[in-house]
Amino acid sequence: MKDEIFAELTASLKEGGQILRGEKEASRSFPYGPPDIKRIRGKYNLTQEQFAAMLGISVKTLHNWEQGRRVPEGPAMVLLRVADLHPQAVLDAVRSVG
């Protein structure tokens, strides 16, 4: 059984390397566009200042995102998706910090 699992993991790693190098097409992807930050903020009924403080970002950054001058990336994008899909989890996390 262990040899079987090891062989599967090895094959998976090799396939991942081929995909990263562009030698093979990924079998699936999960595309999504930039989040509608004003809509997400509206779910919380917060001002820009309050929402920025909750996310731990500057108000200027939030302004740039909402006005389309900048697009959140990496962890900020993930946090916004969580804030959109699971608002109670974010509120629980923020409350436990303060």
Residues 6+ apart with CB under 8 A from 26: 19
Q: What burial class does residue 41 get, using C-beta atoms within 10 Å of its C-beta: 0-12 exposed, 13-18 middle, 19+ buried?
A: buried
pLDDT, position 97? 67
Q: What is the pTM of this model?
A: 0.65
CATH of 37-97, one of 3.40.50.720, 1.10.260.40, 3.10.450.50, 1.10.3720.10: 1.10.260.40
Structure tokens at 84: 């959109």
Q: What is the pLDDT of residues 6-40, one digit of tens each?
A: 999 999 999 989 998 999 998 888 777 789 999 99
Q: What is the pLDDT of residues 69-82, one digit of tens each?
A: 999 999 999 999 99
Q: How far apart are CA 29 and CA 52, in angstroms?
A: 31
* Average pLDDT in the chain: 91
pLDDT, position 98? 55
